[in-house]
Amino acid sequence: MPKRHSKNIRIEKRSLASAIELNYKEQEDFVSSVFLGLKVCFTLLAMVSLIKIGHSSKVRLTRLKEIKDSYLYDKSRFDGLSRRFDDLISLEGEQRFMKDQDQMISRDIIRVIWR
């Protein structure tokens, strides 16, 4: 009888060892799947963040281009007006100014120039 009892103990040890091994394998699979899920979540988070950064950069560049275009337009207008003002202040500028005014005043209107 002692052999049978030792045989049962060996079988129980084997089944216990295999049960522990299966439990360890299940835990390992669970931990692996949790880490895989975290990796997928962080990858999605990184992709969404990159898309948001790209979109905001595009919007910012568009605004900066609009500001630059507006600045260049106003600068060209200022340069033209500065040139006209400098011409007005320069020698015989008044006469040139009056010649420019001829185009603005229609011919049938009488002009009075005070000197």
Query: What are the residue ranges of helices labelled H in the chain?
Result: 2-89, 93-102
44 lies in some domain: yes
109 lies in some domain: no
- Identify the pLDDT of residue 1: 46
Tokens 């880490």: give the residue.
35
What is the distance between the alpha carbons of residues 58 and 4, in angstroms, rounded to a whole number? 80
What tens digit of pLDDT does each residue of 6-36 get?
656 666 767 777 777 778 888 899 999 999 9
96 lies in some domain: yes
What is the distance between the alpha carbons of residues 26 and 33, in angstroms, rounded to a whole number? 10
Residue of 107, 106, 82, 87 whose CA lies nearest to 97: 87
Quote the number of domains for the chain.
1
Ranges of residues in the chain whose predicted pLDDT is under 70: 1-11, 13, 94, 98-108, 111-113, 115
- Identify the pLDDT of residue 14: 72
112 lies in some domain: no
Q: What does pTM read for this prediction?
A: 0.51
53 lies in some domain: yes
108 lies in some domain: no
Range of the domain at 18: 2-102
pLDDT over 90 percentage in the chain? 47
DSSP one-letter code for 108: T
36 lies in some domain: yes
- Identify the pLDDT of residue 36: 97
On whether the CB atoms of residues 111 and 105 are closer than 8 A, the answer is: yes
Length reported for the chain: 115
115 lies in some domain: no
- Identify the pLDDT of residue 87: 79
